[in-house]
Amino acid sequence: MSSVFERHPEHELVPYLDGELSRQQAKKVSGHLESCGRCRAELEELQNAVADCASYRTAIVAQTSAAPAPWRDLYRDFSRIDESLANNSLLVRLMRPLVHSGVPRWAFVAGLTVLIVLLSLNQLRQAPSVQAATLLRKAVAVSGSQPRPAHRIRVRSSRHADFTRAANVPAVLVEVAQAQAVAALFQKADWNWNDPLSARSFEQWRDRQVHKTDEVSAVQDPQEPSEKLTRIRTASPEGDVEAASITLDTANYDAVSERLEFRDSEWVELSEIAETPTDNAGGSGVDSVGVPVRAAEPPSRPAAFTPGSPASISDELQVLSALNGIGADLGDPVEVALADGKVMVTGPADIPAGRQSEIRASVASLPRVEVAFNSLPAVSSLASAGAPAAGTATSPAETRLEKHLGHAEFDRVSTQLLDLDDAAMQRVFALRRLALKFPDEAALSPRDLNVLRDLSRKHAAVLSQEVGSMEKILIPTLSSLGGAAVSVPATAHAGWQPAAEDVYLSARRVEVLISQTLGMTPGKASPSELMTALSQLQANLDDCQRALK
């Protein structure tokens, strides 16, 4: 039979459903539907769609006729939206051409799966790089605020005899033949041979590598097998150095050892030599914890100032106050000490030229001051005595915290905490430096005492604000994870200097626990431990501030 219904009445189904066909056309469509399951199924789908549209219209009319609902608080969803956009925007852009190109569904799904796997692998590959960069940044910041006491390093290489050298000694002063050969390797690789075993030199080399692969791992401490160190290894396809690794003691962020692997299969290893503490009575000029011993000095400037008279503690305090005015006592590797009748302001030559000019200008109007940036840093008064050691196992706190906060919020909180921790530790180091430099306030004039107390109060006040900010971020989250602080009252000190030492020790403890909690270093930090450490730090800081009043 020659008829339009030798084919399926696809275009007539909607008019048939709406009753727009003539009686004869509707009869033909009805007869076709009785014998064609395919068209009956399409008609059912159309009927369901019409019913859904009618329900939707009814719901919209009901909503628009009612009073408007209050605005929804969208801030709770912003983190989730940001994370979703960050993770999916690239994926959507890459897959959109496939969606509109008629690619078979199975091929689309397979391609999508492969892309997701590749993106996941890339994210996993990037994680060690972020961790390595953060650890190095922390180590460089600590070394800038807390220069290490003089020490020696052992140098081993694949082609030359072993030798030892003092750290931070310019290469021209090392005359041993094998030392000169190794120094040539470092210079060829553009690696700082004057300060080879340091986080700063390693970071400078790493930052110059355009394509690099990082690995971060926990290794056993050869000196104390029960403790763990953190090793960062960076491989690069370009340059003279094929791979380099540095091992950090994350209790104080000191560089313990280093290895450079060159492309010609040559290698060089550097390791710190543990120094045996010497008795100060022997005239070393350094006490048992590496704090320089101050010689007897005139405590205050005489009332009748005489030109050409030697510098005194008064001059030193004025210099420290001037440097505080430009923040040079926070993070800049600058040392201030009385020597040869002058106030010596010294620092390494790699301080940026602009910052050197600011430092010089800040003390230019003060008498008996000499500034030098080509000299070696003086022995620091910030030696790490009694710093808490990192744990020996990876803490599950990072996983729990990230799961609780979500990936995007965890990244935001981690960055904020690390910045606050860096700023707080700079204040801790500055406060402790003043406490160690001026332990006997009875020797100070009232004017000098006011300068010292004002500087110390300023550091303590800002530090208290930064600790409060860390508590505001951490306490609610740690409490929701089951943490609870154990109240440990602070020791009441007669003077602020011993209280500042307790602030230093408790701040180092908080620093280690935060690093473990965020997964930056190995350890077994728990929410309760970190909450208790924060509480102890705040209690010690309150005691220090009371003593400073």
Number of other CB atoms surrounding residue 430 within 10 Å? 26
Q: Residue 286: what pLDDT?
A: 36
Q: Residue 460: what pLDDT?
A: 92
User: Long-range contacts: 294-301, Cβ < 8 Å, 24+?
Assistant: 294/338, 294/437, 295/338, 297/338, 299/443, 299/444, 299/445, 299/448, 300/444, 300/445, 300/447, 300/448, 301/445
Which residues have C-beta within 8 Å of that of residue 25, sequence separation ≥ 6? 12, 16
Reading the chain (549 residues) residue by residue, the pLDDT tens digits are: 334 444 677 777 777 877 777 777 878 888 888 778 778 878 887 777 777 777 766 666 555 555 555 555 555 555 555 555 555 545 555 555 555 555 565 565 666 666 666 655 554 455 677 778 888 887 887 776 555 555 678 888 888 777 777 665 444 444 456 677 888 888 888 888 878 888 888 998 998 888 888 888 888 877 777 778 888 999 988 888 999 999 988 777 788 899 999 988 889 998 887 654 443 333 434 333 333 334 434 455 443 345 567 888 888 899 999 998 998 888 778 888 888 888 888 888 878 888 889 999 999 999 889 998 874 444 343 333 333 343 334 455 666 777 777 777 777 878 888 888 888 888 998 899 898 888 888 888 889 989 999 999 999 999 999 999 988 888 888 888 887 877 766 677 778 988 888 899 888 888 888 888 777 777 777 888 888 888 889 888 999 999 988
DSSP 448-487: HHHHHHHHHHHHHHHHHHHHHHHHHHHHHHHHHTT--PPP
Q: Between β-strands 369-372 and 342-346, what pairing exists: parallel, antiparallel or unpaired?
A: parallel
- What the block records as the tokens of 508 is 């180092």
Task: State how far the Cα of 232 lies from the Cα of 137, in Å rounded to an integer.
Answer: 12
CA distances from 50 to 27, 28, 36, 54 (A): 22, 23, 21, 6
- What the block records as the tokens of 419 is 């910045």
Q: Residue 183: what pLDDT?
A: 83
Among 45, 15, 48, which Cα is nearest to 30's?
15
Q: Residue 517: what pLDDT?
A: 79
Among 354, 286, 344, 278, which Cα is nearest to 311's?
344
In the block, residue with structure tokens 């950090």? 248
* Alpha carbon 331 to chain centroid, angstroms: 15
- What the block records as the tokens of 395 is 């803490």
Q: Is 95 exposed, middle or buried (0-12, 13-18, 19+ CB in 10 A)?
A: middle
Number of other CB atoms surrounding residue 160 within 10 Å? 18
Q: Residue 454: what pLDDT?
A: 92
Identity of residue 327 = G
Task: State how far the Cα of 347 lies from the Cα of 15, in Å rounded to an integer.
Answer: 89
- What the block records as the tokens of 57 is 């219209």
% helix, strand, coil for the chain, step of 5: 55, 10, 35
- What the block records as the tokens of 26 is 């509707």
Length of the chain (residues): 549
Q: Residue 490: what pLDDT?
A: 63
**Are the C-beta atoms of 345 and 322 separated by less than 8 Å?**
no
